[in-house]
Amino acid sequence: MNDYHVSVLLKEAIELLQVKKNGKYIDATLGGGGHTRAVLENGGLVLGIDLDQEALYFINQNQISNIKNQKLILTQGNFKDIARIARLNRFEKVDGIIYDVGVSSHQIDSGERGFSYLKNGPLDMRMDKENAVKASDLINILTKGDLYELFSRLGQERRARVISDRIVRARGIKAIQTTEELLEVIKDAYGLKTKTLSPFIKAAISKRVFQALRMAVNSELENLKESLPQAIDLLEKGGRIVTITFHSLEDRIVKHSFLEFEKNKQGKIITKKPMIPNEEEIRNNRRSASAKLRVFEKLI
């Protein structure tokens, strides 16, 4: 565990990855490096990828000796380019790949990154600070229909229509630039009049809109869909892909990709049903509550 991020399903993921001494592993979502550290401790070599420059900086500070000993290679990039990144780093044939998708606690807890409805900050939400599109661009440019589609599809938000309507009205007066300004609009759409809201109410009304925006800004579903077929090609015979997802649409992408691999006789699904955190983990880390872990093993 570290201050940057509390890893989810850590023990289960590492056991299922079946780490071999000097085996090669790709951590496609480095974050605070919890899964990477466990692979290194089990004798594996790791290529760690993250979109977020801050994750790379954190791991650089914390893994100096593994980096020096060439047990750990770090690269800033998008796992949708995993084949190219692996080739550039001579990690073409690997024994395992882990995806622990979504956001890190560090990203959520940094107000200035704009991921959180609990902290005021610019409406940014980019995991990669070089990304051209911020959440404020989507909020101020998308049509009412596109906002509705975004909040209902990615956020499964019941009030998507009213919220989209209120956003278009509010931005007609002044562009929405901060997380607090967006929260105010959502509050209005929910008909809440009180000036201050408890964190519980803030979460209840805005969690889905913030999540949908984040997923759209970072093209999260598209990246996962593009990456998995490349991942299967990178695996050695007997190698495994382990995925941890936090949203039903992400889990659906993994499930269907794995079924497709099985249909193509590329290997077998190890987890007939996804593995989920036990009660103790959920009690200790609320963010783990929606996690689902799936594993595929390559056989040819």
What tokens appear for 90 in the block? 């001579």
Q: Which amino acid is at 183?
A: L
- Contacts (CB under 6 A) with ligand SAM, residues 197-226: 223
- Whichever of 96 and 102 has its CB closer to ligand SAM, that residue is 102
d(CA 213, CA 125): 8
Q: 219 to 258, contacts with ligand SAM by CB under 6 A?
A: 223
Is 195 exposed, middle or buried (CB count within 10 Å of its CB: 0-12, 13-18, 19+)? exposed
When asked if residue 157 is in the footprint of ligand SAM (CB under 6 A), the reply is no
Q: Does 127 bind ligand SAM (CB under 6 A)?
A: yes
Residues 76-115, interacting with ligand SAM (CB under 6 A): 78-80, 100-104
* Residue closest to ligand SAM when measured from CB atoms: 31
Q: Quick check: 277 binds ligand SAM (CB under 6 A)?
A: no
Which residue's CB is nearer to ligand SAM, number 110 or number 156?
Answer: 110
**Is 29 or 66 the residue whose CB approaches ligand SAM more closely?**
29
Interaction pattern, residues 11-30, with ligand SAM; x per rule: CB under 6 A: ------------------x-
Question: Helices (DSSP H) in the chain: which residue ranges?
Answer: 10-17, 34-41, 53-62, 64-68, 82-88, 105-109, 135-141, 144-153, 160-173, 179-189, 199-217, 220-234, 248-263, 279-284
How many residues can be counted in the chain? 300
In the structure encoding, which two tokens stand for residue 264, read together? 């193509």
Q: How far is the CB of 243 from ligand SAM (least distance, A)?
A: 11
Maximum distance among all Cα pairs of the chain, rounded to whole angstroms? 61
Which of the stretches 63-71, 74-82, 165-173, 270-278 binds ligand SAM when contact is defined by CB under 6 A? 74-82
Distance of CA 11 to the CA centre of its chain: 19
Please report whether residue 32 would count as binding ligand SAM according to CB under 6 A. yes
Contact residues for ligand SAM (CB under 6 A)? 5, 7, 29, 31-35, 49-52, 55, 78-80, 100-104, 127, 223
